[in-house]
A and B are shown apart, each in its own frame.
Chain A
Amino acid sequence: MSVSPGGVRRALPASVRAQEEDTVTDASNREAIADMANPLGMEGIEFIEYATARPQALGQLLETLGFRPIARHRSREVLLYRQGGINVIVNAHAVGPGQGQGEAAQGNPVIAAVALRVRDAAAAYGRALERGAWAVPIRVEVMELNIPAVHGPGGSRIYFVDRHREFSIYDVDFVPIPGVDPHPPALAGLHFFGIVQYIGNGRTEDWTDFYGELFGFGPLPADAAFGILPKGRILRSPCPEAAAFYLQLIEPEPGILEMEDTECFQRVAFGTADVLATVAELRTRGVSFVESGRIQSDDKGALTQTRLGGVSFELVHHTRGCTR
C-alpha cells in the first residue's frame, strides 16, 4: 500500500515558512494577531543555580557583584544569594568527586540549572514532556518541595516554578540566615537580562526549535544585538515585557577541531540602565572587566574577567522596572 506523495515540498528556512504561514488567511484567524504566544504563562527567571565544589569562592565572587547570602537549604550544602529580583543558588551538594564533566569535575562552578517562573508548574512540566522533553528524576527530602525539571543543554536542568507570588519556594526549602535582610536591593538596578548558551557546530536551528517548542521562545531578527558581544542567535522569552529575558546561542568559531563540541549554559547577563556607572561601581568592589582588543566596556555592555575556571558575567544596557 502506498500513500500518494501529493503535497511533498522542500523544507524551507523557518523564517520563510513563518512568512508563508502569516499570509495564510482562514476564517478563524481574520486579524493575524502577531503577539507572541506564552504557552506556559512564563514570567521570567526565578533563579540561576551554580554547581561547584568551591561554594565559598563563588560566594565571594557573587558578593563583589552585589549579591548577599540570605538563606541556607534545610538539608543540603546549598546557599541562596540575592540582590533585587535576582536569585542565585550556589549548590555544593550536587557535585562530588568523579561527578559531572569538564569544569564541574574540577570543582569549578558551572551553571547547573535555570528556573523559569510559570503560571502552573505541573502543567508546564506535563506540556514539555508531552512534546519531547526529558524528565529529570527528582530527589526530595521530607517536607521539601518537588520542583519539576527537564533536561537542558549539557547536564543542566530547567525547572518550572509557579510559587513566586503568594509565597516563595525558598520559604519551604531554605532557612533564612539570621540578621540578614532577605531582600537586599539590587546594586545599580541590576536585573536578569539573559543567559549565554554555547552550542555545538550547526546546532542553532536545533536549539531554536527546542526552546520554541517546549517553552515558547522566539528568535529575534538576525541583526538584533545587545551588549558588546553580538554573536549567534538571540531568542526572546515569551514573558510579558517587564519580565522578558533572552537566550543567546553561540556556535564555535569555524575552523575549530570537531571534538570541541561542548554545550552548556556559559554565563549570565545582567541588565543595567547605565553600564559605565555600574562598571565603575563594581570596580570599586573588586570586579575586573575585560578590556582588550575588540572587547571593551562601553555604554552598550561589559564583560567581567573570567574567574574560578570559567565564571564570567556580562552587563548589558537595558532598562526595565523592577519585576518584583
Chain B
Amino acid sequence: MNPLQGNVDDFGMDTISLAGPLEAKLKAIRAAGFSQIMLSARDIVGHPDGLDAAVQAVRASGLRVTGFQVLRDFEGLSGHLHDYKVDIAKSMLEMCAALGSKILLVCSSTSVHASQDLDAIARDLRKLAMLAIPLGIKVAYEGLSWGRTINEFTTAWEVVSRADVPNLGIGLDSFHMFATQTPLDDLELLDPEKIFLVQLADFMWQEIRSVEERITTARHFRVFPGEGVHSDALADLVRRLHALGYRGDYSFEVFNDDYQQIPLPVVAQRARRSALWLGEDVLRRSVPLPNQMRLRTRAAA
C-alpha cells in the first residue's frame, strides 16, 4: 500500500512517543502519512532556537495541531497557589494559541493541597475556560487515573457539567479508563459535542494492581492500539464513541521507553499500522476524495 493511502486522518501521533528534536518528530510523523500531531509544551520551550522557531517549525510542517499538553494540578487551589497556577495556565494558553492549537489538555489534580470540593474544582475550571475564550481555545479536562479527587471520566464529566461553560469539555484517555475499569456504558452519560479529545493507548498487562504500577505503566510501558492485550476493548471504545456521535480527533498517547530508543520512522510506522487498523478495520472509514478541502461545518442551531 502506498504510504499515503488509507484513511488515517482521524488519528494523530503524539510527540511524547518519539525521541529527538522537534523537527525530526514532525518529519517522521508527516512521512508516515499522518496529518495531525499532539504537541507537548516541552517540545516547544526546549527548542534550541526558542519558542518562535518551534512555532515556525510546526507551522511549516503542514501538520494540524491536535492539541497542546499538559496543564497539571491546576484546579482546587487557593490563595497564592491558585494565583501561581493561573500564571502558569496563561503561559500554556499563549503557547497553545501561538501553535495554532485549538485544544489545551488539562489533567486532573494529584495535589494534596487542592480542595476536593467539586464546586471549587468546577469554579476553577470555569475560570480557566474563560481565560481560554479570547484565544479561541477549548479546554479538555481529563481525569487522570491517579488523580486525587477526579480520577474517572464520569467524575470529570460531573465537574465539567457543573462548570457549565461552552469551551470546557472532557478529554478521554483509554489508558486511564481501562486502568480504573470504569464501565464503558457510562459513556452514554456524555454529550459527544463536549468530548474535545480522545487519546488512545494499549498496554501489555491484563491487570494493574496498584497505583504505583499504574503510574509506571502509564509513563513507560504504553504501546500503540492493537499492540497490547486490550485491542478488543479499544475497538469497543472507539465504536462506542462513534455510535455516541463523536467525530473528533484520536491521538495516540503512547509513553514507551523502548520507542524512545529506536529510529523515529520505525515508531511512526508502528503508529501508522495502528491508525490503519482503527480507521479501516474498526471504524471502516472511507478513503477521502483527492484534493478535498476542509470546509467549515455549519454550526449546530
Contact = CB atoms under 8 A, between A and B. Distances in A.
Interface of A: 1-3, 5, 7-11, 17, 130-134, 151-153, 200-210, 213-214, 251-252, 254-258, 261, 263
Interface of A is mostly: loop
B191 interface: yes
Contact of A10 (B154, B180, B189, B295): B189
A202 to B, nearest CB: 5
Given A11-B164, A206-B167, A209-B165, A254 B158 contact: no
Contact of B299 (A2, A7, A204, A261): A204
Contacts of B49: none
B287 interface: no
A98 to B, nearest CB: 15
Interface in B170-191: 180, 186, 189-191
A255 B151 contact: no
Interface stretch (B127-135, B196-204, B247-255): B127-135
22 contacts: A1-B148, A3-B116, A5-B158, A5-B186, A8-B189, A11-B193, A11-B194, A130-B127, A131-B130, A132-B129, A132-B131, A134-B90, A134-B131, A152-B134, A201-B296, A201-B297, A209-B130, A209-B167, A213-B126, A251-B299, A254-B296, A255-B296
Interface string B133-172: 1101000000000001111101101101100111100000
A8 B133 contact: no
B298 interface: yes
A17 B189 CA distance: 17
Contact of B296 (A7, A133, A213, A256): A256
B130 A213 contact: yes
B294 interface: yes
B293 interface: yes
Bin the interface of chain B by size: 35 or more
Interface of B: 90, 116, 118, 126-131, 133-134, 136, 148-152, 154-155, 157-158, 160-161, 164-167, 180, 186, 189-191, 193-194, 293-299
